[in-house]
Amino acid sequence: MTLLYRVGSGGNSIVVQKSEKPEATDNSLMLSNEEKRLLERVNKLRTDKQKPTLKPNPKLFAVARAHARAMAKKEKEEDEDNGKDTMARVKESGYKWSKDLLTYNSAVGQNWNPDQCFQTWSQTLVPTTNMQDEKYLETGIGIARSDGGNVFFYQIFAMPDK
């Protein structure tokens, strides 16, 4: 993968294209233009269905970004990485979620943008169900490009533990 520059530090750093300027959310989490676009599309779908919008969570974003990079490095779209699935990675991050209320969507496409990913998810039962499920209130998004031109998308949906 070609990294143009990094924003952030440690597990919260992200890769940003030169043409993108990350935007801060109210909790100081920086979103790339691509992450912001995918979140906007998912939240528009949710508001159109009278569902609450998803709030970006820094821990979920860190997990999603790291996993998207791992998939891009391996050129393989799959949940498991180094013997850990989404639940194990999120648990390791310290994020606490309500029982059984954690899931994810993933996709890969040659030179895809967030609109193409969203379109694909919107035409598939499980991803559409995940995007519309009102039980999920927080999210994390990771988007990474491989050297081969594939773009890997990974979105985590969760209900925080109270």
Condensed to tens digits (0 to 9), the pLDDT of residues 4-20 reads 323 333 333 334 343 34
* Average of per-residue pLDDT across 30-37: 97
Burial of 66 from C-beta contacts in 10 A (0-12 / 13-18 / 19+):
buried
pLDDT band at 27 (very low <50, low <70, confident <90, very high): low
Give 68 or 24, the one with higher predicted confidence.
68
The predicted pLDDT at position 23 comes to: 46
pLDDT band at 24 (very low <50, low <70, confident <90, very high): very low
Give 97 or 21, the one with higher predicted confidence.
97
Residue 45 vs residues 13, 57, 68, 97, 152: alpha-carbon distances, Å: 28, 19, 23, 23, 21
Distance CA 112, CA 22 (A): 19
* Average of per-residue pLDDT across 25-53: 91
pTM, entire model: 0.83
Average pLDDT, the chain: 87
Closest by Cα among 51, 37, 60, 56 to 131: 51
The predicted pLDDT at position 106 comes to: 98
Instruction: State percent of the chain over pLDDT 90.
Output: 81
The separation between the first and the last C-alpha atoms of the chain, rounded to the nearest angstrom, is: 39
Condensed to tens digits (0 to 9), the pLDDT of residues 53-86 reads 999 999 999 999 999 999 999 999 999 999 999 9
Could you tell me where the DSSP H helices lie in 15-85?
A: 33-48, 58-74
Distance CA 17, CA 6 (A): 9
The answer to whether the beta carbons of residues 155 and 77 sit under 8 Å apart is no
Q: Which CB contacts under 8 angstroms, 24+ apart, belong to 84-91? A: 86/156, 89/63, 90/59, 90/60, 90/63, 90/156, 90/158
Predicted confidence (pLDDT) at residue 136 exceeds the cutoff of 80: yes
Condensed to tens digits (0 to 9), the pLDDT of residues 87-124 reads 999 999 999 999 889 999 999 999 999 999 999 999 99
